Structure 1
Amino acid sequence: MTDLIHPPKPRPGDRVAVLSPAAGLPEVLPLPHELGLRRLTEQYGLVPVEYPTTRKLGASPEARAADLHAAFADPGIAAVVATIGGDDQITLLPHLDDALLRAHPKPFFGFSDNTNLLMRLWNLGVVGYHGASVMTQFGRPGAVHPVTDASVRAALFTPGPYELPRPTETNDVERPWEDPRTFDSAPVMEPAGDWRWHRADRVAEGRSWGGCLEVLAQLLMAGGEIAPPEAYEGGVLFLETSELLPTADEVFRVLRAMGERGLLGRFGAVLVGRARAWSFDAPHDAPARAAYREAQRTAVLRALDAYAPGAVVVLDVDLGHTDPQVVIPYGGTVRVDGPARRITVTY
């Protein structure tokens, strides 16, 4: 494993690259993008810098890689923030200049399809940040959620440990981004259940790895980004699912494949995000959302009991495709303290 690099953090007043290495959705959905840019400037004191493909839907992998290289190589850029996720970032990976990325490390923020880039940076020994995209967290209707805001500020500006909070409210029901009225008020929240702990009689601490399960499934099939199982020994695995709403059986099969590959048993702890249970294509009511989440929890525990019986497991952590969202360092140290019921990340 390469030596670990913690990229220098930006400071208020610094320029940050705003890129679309997955999908250039700002071209067709400008409202949350523009709002997110304003908040980066007004609330966080940063200067967003867009690139040729930031607002270009359907840009080629080569063009998106060129923008990424330009942002990382520019000494005047202090961090790189993804606008949103997408579907085909895996096609970007063959065009990346690994030597350039490692020689000019920058904090990279993104999640969902950006799991591809985060994993490549992990393989290069560069710590990234799973979370905090422009259109979703910074461009949230009404206001950035206070829980998200505190985590983002810590990840952006503050080194050292950060104890993850337990939000009291949650939401995954969206309103159309095409409608300006969507951004006049914050989403309607509902009570959030507490984290669910399993085998919480121990403490595990290690380097984090994981991301969006649907993207991990693609990377497992492609194979190139997945290291030998021993590279993950003693690490902390974190997983979450997207608005694609995979079935419980699909989630189990991906985890089973990871287990058969010898990956799951290497991790000392596993964090599982609060499952997204609503989409415009599947607008579930509250009972259906609760049933979907419970079926996914059962599937996850079934796989982990079989393949990672020694790991501490925490379900319903507010990471990934959820609101509020906490940022998880990708490759940073995560401490999962079962007896104290605490999760501490190092940004």
Structure 2
Amino acid sequence: MTDIVYPPKPSPGDRIAVISPSDGLPGLFPLPYELGLERLRGEYGLKPVEYPATRAMGSTPAERADDIHAAFADPEIKAVVASIGGDDQITVIPLLDRELIRAHPKPFFGMSDNTNLLAFLRETGIVGYHGASVMVELGRPGALHPQTAESLRAALFTSGAYELRPAERWGDVNRDWADPATFEAEPETRPGTGWTWVNADRVVEGRTWGGCLEIVGWMLMAGRGVARDLSEYDGGVLFLETSEELPSAEEVFRTLRNMGERGLLGRFSALLMGRPKTWSFERPLSPEEGAAYAAAQREAVSRAMRTYAPDALVVFDVDLGHTDPQLVIPYGGLVRVDGPARRITVTY
């Protein structure tokens, strides 16, 4: 089994790297990006440092790998944060120097396509942090969501237990990043719906693996991001979420089914399933359509779990994905899922 360690944490006043391991969208949409940088400085007291490909659309995988290497190797940099996700980070991972990164462990924050780098770090023996990209969560119009802000602060600066809480209010409708008016008010939110628990008669504590379901599927097809010996995941906590591409319920089921056929799904003792995003610019679903989409996805997940991991403890609608707020999940770190008490505690 891989020996996984938590890297040292930054402190206010430290320099942190801001990189774009996937897309250089800061170059196209400077408004949320600059707002996110300002919040890193003003609300967290950190000093963001950009790298050559951070704002460069069309950068090569080699250029992005160079930025990752430079960020991890620099002793003045105490953490690394992704600007945003994308769709081709899988081409960057083969270019990474595992020994260089292993020799300079640092907290890395990112999600979505950054599932690739998070899984790489876990294989390398480093706990990463799923969540908090600069443009999305830190660049949220109006103000940071208070639950996102609190979770990120704990993940950045503390090393102990942190209890996750269901969102009091949540949202998933975005506005145009190119329009300055977008940033004059906070996004609309709606009342939280709590978590739904299945097989909640036990306590599970284990290390996490997972991330964005679509990216997990790509990694498995490429033969990356998963241990050769699947027993490494025995008793662990799987966490998954779906993206703004709104995959169909059937696609979600098929990905989980294939994980089950591989013998992977049944290794985990618990699954935390993120609240599904139900709106995108390409598919602006109404609230009623969105609720139906979410219900179909939950049933698809339940169908796969009943088939391949019927005894696993499952929690639905945890705010850990592409919806707002976003709770940070330690990738490869410890999570305790207490079914009888209906509590989820992560170790940052």
**Aligned structure 1 segments of 4 or more residues deviating by more than 6 angstroms:** none
What corresponds to 1:240 in structure 2? 241
What are the superposed Cα offsets for residues 163-213 of structure 1, whole Å, 9 maximum, x if unpaired?
Answer: 001111110000000000000100010112110000000110100000000
* Corresponding residue SS for 2:92: helix
What corresponds to 2:290 in structure 1? 289
Query: CA–CA distance in 1 between the matches of 2:225 and 2:324?
Result: 29
What corresponds to 1:337 in structure 2? 338
1:219 aligns with 2:219: yes
What corresponds to 1:327 in structure 2? 328
What corresponds to 1:254 in structure 2? 255
Task: Report deviation, 1:225.
Answer: 2.4
What are the superposed Cα offsets for residues 51-99 of structure 1, whole Å, 9 maximum, x if unpaired?
Answer: 0000001100000000100000000000000000000000001100000
Task: Report deviation, 1:23.
Answer: 0.6
Task: Report deviation, 1:2.
Answer: 2.5
What corresponds to 2:49 in structure 1? 49
Task: Report deviation, 1:115.
Answer: 0.1
Figure out how many residues of one structure are paired with residues of the other and give that number.
347
Mapping of residues 78-227 of structure 1, within 5 Å: 78-227=78-227
What are the superposed Cα offsets for residues 267-305 of structure 1, whole Å, 9 maximum, x if unpaired?
Answer: 010000000010000000100000000000000000011
TM-score when normalising by structure 1: 0.99
1:16 aligns with 2:16: yes
In the alignment, structure 1 segments of 5+ residues that lack a partner are none
Query: CA–CA distance in 1 between the matches of 2:58 and 2:198?
Result: 43
Query: CA–CA distance in 2 between the matches of 1:329 and 1:308?
Result: 23
Query: CA–CA distance in 2 between the matches of 1:328 and 1:226?
Result: 18
Query: CA–CA distance in 1 between the matches of 2:98 and 2:82?
Result: 19
Mapping of residues 271-282 of structure 1, within 5 Å: 271-282=272-283
Query: CA–CA distance in 1 between the matches of 2:168 and 2:155?
Result: 21
Q: What CA RMSD, in Å, does the superposition of the two structures yield over aligned residues?
A: 0.6
Query: CA–CA distance in 2 between the matches of 1:126 and 1:233?
Result: 19
1:310 aligns with 2:311: yes
What are the superposed Cα offsets for residues 296-315 of structure 1, whole Å, 9 maximum, x if unpaired?
Answer: 00000000111111210000
Query: CA–CA distance in 1 between the matches of 2:223 and 2:51?
Result: 30
Query: CA–CA distance in 1 between the matches of 2:220 and 2:193?
Result: 32
Query: CA–CA distance in 1 between the matches of 2:119 and 2:200?
Result: 28
